[in-house]
Amino acid sequence: MRTRLAGSCFLAFVISSHACAVAAQQTAAPPQQTPAAAPAPAMPRVRLVATGGTISNRTGGRLTAEELVKSMPAVTRYATPEFEQFANVASSSMTLAQWLDLSRRINTLFRDDAQLAGVVVTSGTDTLEELAYFLNLTVRDDRPVAVVGSMRNPSTLGYEGAANLLEGFRVAADPTSRKRGVLVVLNDEINAAREVTKTDALRLHTFQTRGYGILGVVDSDRIVYYRGVERRHTAASEFDVFGITELPRVDVLMVYQGAPGDLINAAVDAGAKGVVLATAGAGATSGTQGDGLRYAASKNVPVVITTRAGSGRIAGAGGNQIAGQDLAPIKARILLMVALARTSDPAELRRIFREY
């Protein structure tokens, strides 16, 4: 009897222990799962719109937009590159009609693609500052447009085009580049399109901003900005290229000792809708240029007064004359062309030159 009772107790213990173990397994926490790695953040998309210039002018044939992108394999560390070939010519061969088409194309890219981070434009350096300023007035978006070029061609020892292009992509991809207008990026430096000028025919360190200095730099670790641009540009601009079919003719003339006024007459008679005069000092003319200015006034042709000195501001002008402020003569020509596509009223032109 004792044996049977002991066996029954042992069997009950075994059954009870097994039940507890099963219950414990059923209530135990499930094994830990290794979390899946988070997907890497997508790189900003930046589009190259190539127009040509020395940066692509290889001996035996020009580099295409695709070849330019392939020349900088490190770009994928900063951006997802896209590209298109707008033109492939020397900058001096670009026409004003092509300027309008290029601005329309960039405006369309921004309008149709909200996720596009920025645009890079390649240009020959001879007229790069002019194209950049035109885009600064007519691309109506806060996203960056970086204009790049090179002083040496791809067949030359020391070609810097790929480095400049990579820096342009980095600037265009960087969110701190927004709302700064069109940017000129060469030689590790960032300059404002409105202010920059080519200062040397051959040296790499040619693009500079006299008086005001660079906007920022492209360093190995990041993009660094030191200041902004105060004048109206890009998204704040009133100039709509979709409403401009043709840019009016504007000629640039220079003051020099004994300069004849009949050159101003000739420009007006040839169809110029405006004249920019690069004066001596802060507005002085010479020779018979006063007669030419009076002739232009009689024909209601506005004359913008600038300085040939390289820097400095024109403070005021009356009648049909417009103070060019601190704009270089070639930049004043661009602003006057765009402005005349909207108005020929001298008061309105003065306002435009004060604001832009």
In a shared domain, residues 112 and 165? yes
| Percentages of the chain per state (helix, strand, coil), in multiples of 5 | 35, 20, 45
Q: Which one of 51, 54, 122, 234 is the catalytic residue?
A: 54
pLDDT of residue 318: 81
Provide the percentage of residues in the chain whose pLDDT is more than 70.
89
What amino acid is encoded at 236 in this protein?
A
Whether the per-residue pLDDT at 35 is higher than 80: the answer is no
Question: How confident is the model over 73-127, as pLDDT tens digits?
Answer: 999 999 999 999 999 999 999 999 999 999 999 999 999 999 999 999 999 999 9
pLDDT of residue 352: 98
Average pLDDT for residues 314-325, to the nearest whole number? 91
Q: How many CB atoms lie within 10 A of CB 221?
A: 5
Residue 21 resides in a domain: no
Domain boundary among 214, 236, 258: 236
With contact defined as beta carbons under 8 Å apart, do 141 and 107 qualify?
A: yes
Whether the per-residue pLDDT at 26 is higher than 60: the answer is no
Residue 36 resides in a domain: no
For tokens 């007064």, the residue is 305
Residue 29 resides in a domain: no
With contact defined as beta carbons under 8 Å apart, do 176 and 215 qualify?
A: no
User: What is the CATH classification number for the domain harbouring 345?
Assistant: 3.40.50.40
Whether the per-residue pLDDT at 280 is higher than 50: the answer is yes
Domain boundary among 236, 265, 288: 236
In a shared domain, residues 78 and 172? yes
Domain boundary among 179, 201, 236: 236
Residue 37 resides in a domain: no
Q: How many CB atoms lie within 10 A of CB 113?
A: 13
In a shared domain, residues 227 and 79? yes
What is the number of domains present in the chain? Answer: 2
Instruction: State which residues form the domain around 264.
Output: 249-355
Q: Is 176 a catalytic residue?
A: no
Mean of the per-residue pLDDT values of the chain: 91
In a shared domain, residues 221 and 344? no
With contact defined as beta carbons under 8 Å apart, do 161 and 152 qualify?
A: yes
DSSP string, 5-61: HHHHHHHHHHHHHHHHHHHHHHHSPPPPPPPPPPPPPPPPEEEEEEEESGGG--TTS
What pLDDT band is residue 254 in, cutting at 50, 70 and 90?
Answer: very high
For tokens 């101003």, the residue is 264
pLDDT of residue 17: 44
Q: Which tops the pLDDT comparison, 54 or 4?
A: 54
CB neighbour class for 338 (10 Å; exposed up to 12, middle 13-18, buried from 19):
buried
Residue 176 resides in a domain: yes
